[in-house]
Amino acid sequence: MTKVAFSLPTLDIRSLPGPDSILRRELENGIVVLARENFASPSVVISGYLVAGSLGETRQEAGLAYLTAQALMRGTKVRSFNQIFESIESIGAVLSLGASTHITFVQGKALAEDLQILLSLLSEVLRTPTFPKTQIERLKGEHLTSLAIRDQDTGARAQLAFDELAYKKHPYSLPTSGYKDTISEISTTNIRAFYRQCFGPQGMVLVVVGAVEAQKAVEAVEGALGGWRNPEQHTHPDLPPIGKPSGLLRKVVYLPGKSQCDIVLGTPGPSRFDEDYMAASLGNSILGRFGMYGRIGDAVRESAGLAYYAYSSVTGGHGPGPWQVVAGVNPNGVEKAIDLILTEIRKLVTKRVTKQELVENQANYIGRLPLQLESNEGVAGSLLHIERYSLGLDYYQCFPDLVAAVTRDDVIRAAKRYLDPDHLAIAIAGPIGEEA
């Protein structure tokens, strides 16, 4: 058999974001601004976050950060809900906010000439929201409808069950979007108190990318948000530690009348700060991402024909996000699919991946980087990523070398550290009954 030689792509790192093309400034009130010019497009993108998430919520408060982020644009001291969106639409722009466990995130886009208008609107909704009661009640009603839909979704229910198993008594066990009973009880007073205590400039990061000179972009942000102060702003609570599941934990959510079952199987994985993150990410790509969903896709979907989809993911966020496998299968194939998934996990932690697998995945990581950075949105998200995880302004210029440096031994070490096939959470949702 003829051996095929594999090599890694060579990138021109001068074309990638780096210290020479990224301007980073910290304003006096604590806001960090990053800007990069791109005059090939007439638009400008803003992307950012505030350190105001659901991390400190109790079970009874679940959904408070989510509702607060959504409510910011429901009315300000200057504009009503309708006037806010009329102002955005009148310049063909978009502006949105949302919440996750650790942050409230901001996304916006406009023509470069309208950057100041966009930033002024952002400043207005962040600094002077009024949280009108009628709008809050309408927002709650809309969200309760979405939660009712979630309750009948096999994938969503399996994920909720997995989080409860894998992160028992940990903040990551609670959904940011809350529950029907908690959303119903959240009041305008609760929202205003959360806003007053958690929203402020400390820890905020805002990225501006597009057809605006970097220095002018920073000045525009400073003009819009540089005067913001909140002496009542609290610090974010510390993230408690979490261990691996005590064994093969299992939970079934019975949803009659569905055509498939969803399986979510895994364990808390590495954080993005972990030194093993890159090795774990490449190992995960081999396990269930590359090509037609890697080894798991081949075993469960292609060879056995048991799954509509089967893939793995490693979240790698601020804390130990899940390293998990997700599969949508015929109800009669649940146990066989789980067995095949566990077999692939055991292989990953007991035998080194092949040289070909590693090089192919490294080549994929390196080769797709320029594609991820070809749009203003892609660059903005990437700059936000390096700031949030303290990766350094030269991270993307170093990225090919960081990927190429990962060895087969690194991959198996990371897999053994996190993916213990005898200590996993297994959640199943669908029409299979409690006996499954």
Please say which residue of 165, 193, 225 terminates a domain: 225
CA dihedral of 102, 106, 107, 112, whole degrees rounded to 10: -140
On whether both 66 and 211 belong to a single domain, the answer is: yes
**Do residues 151 and 198 share a domain?**
yes
Q: What is the pLDDT of residue 236?
A: 84
The strand order across the sheet containing 424-430 reads: 248-254, 424-430, 261-268, 322-329, 307-314
Whether residue 233 is contained in a domain is answered as no
Tell whether 271 and 319 lie within a shared domain: yes
Considering the domain architecture, whether residues 34 and 92 belong to the same structural domain is answered as: yes
Residues (pLDDT < 50) of the chain are: 1-2, 434-436
Residues 221 and 96 in one domain: yes
By C-alpha distance, which of 69, 24, 387, 30 is closest to 201? 30
- Which pLDDT does position 433 carry in this prediction? 55
Contact, 341 vs 287, CB < 8 A? no
User: 401 and 261 in one domain?
Assistant: yes
Q: Tell me how far apart the alpha carbons of residues 403 and 401 are, in angstroms, rounded to a whole number.
A: 5
Sorted by sequence, the CB contacts under 8 Å of residue 15 that are 6+ apart come out as 370
Measured CA to CA, the distance from residue 135 to residue 142 in angstroms comes to 10
Torsion of CA 134, 94, 124, 236, to 10 degrees: 90
What integer pLDDT is reported at residue 256 of this predicted model? 95
Sequence-ordered list of residues with C-beta below 8 angstroms from that of 12, at least 6 positions apart, any chain: none
Q: Which residues contact 216 (CB under 8 A, 6 or more apart)?
A: none
Helices then strands, counting H and E runs in the chain, come out as 15, 11
User: How far is Cα 342 from Cα 336, in angstroms, rounded to an integer?
Assistant: 10
Same domain (yes/no): 58, 187: yes
CA-to-CA separations, 41 to 15, 214, 266, in angstroms, rounded: 16, 15, 42
pLDDT at 5: 58
pLDDT of residue 432: 82
In-domain check, residue 116:
yes
Task: State pTM to two decimals.
Answer: 0.94
Q: Which helix (H) or strand (E) holds 140?
A: helix 133-150
Let me know if residue 299 belongs to a domain: yes
Tokens of 238: 């510390």
Same domain flag for 147 and 45: yes
Last residue of a domain, one of 162, 191, 225: 225
Boundaries of domain holding 25:
19-225
- The pLDDT, as a whole number, for residue 2 is 46
Listed residues 193, 225, 257: the one ending a domain: 225
**Is residue 296 in some structural domain?**
yes
Q: Are 130 and 195 in contact (CB under 8 A)?
A: no
pLDDT for position 141: 98
In the DSSP assignment, the letter for residue 375 is: S
| Whether residue 412 sits in one domain with residue 283 | yes
Say if residue 293 is in the same domain as residue 403.
yes
- Structurally, the chain folds into a number of domains equal to 2
| Token pair for 33 | 């601004």
- Quote the tokens at residue 84: 């806010």
If you write DSSP's letter for every residue of 265-297 in order, what string do you get?
EEEE---TT-TTHHHHHHHHHHHHTHHHHHHHI
| Same domain (yes/no): 296, 390 | yes
Give, in order, the Cα–Cα distances in Å from 274 to each of 320, 370, 422.
Answer: 9, 25, 23
Q: Are residues 206 and 254 in the same domain?
A: no
CATH number of residue 364's parent domain: 3.30.830.10
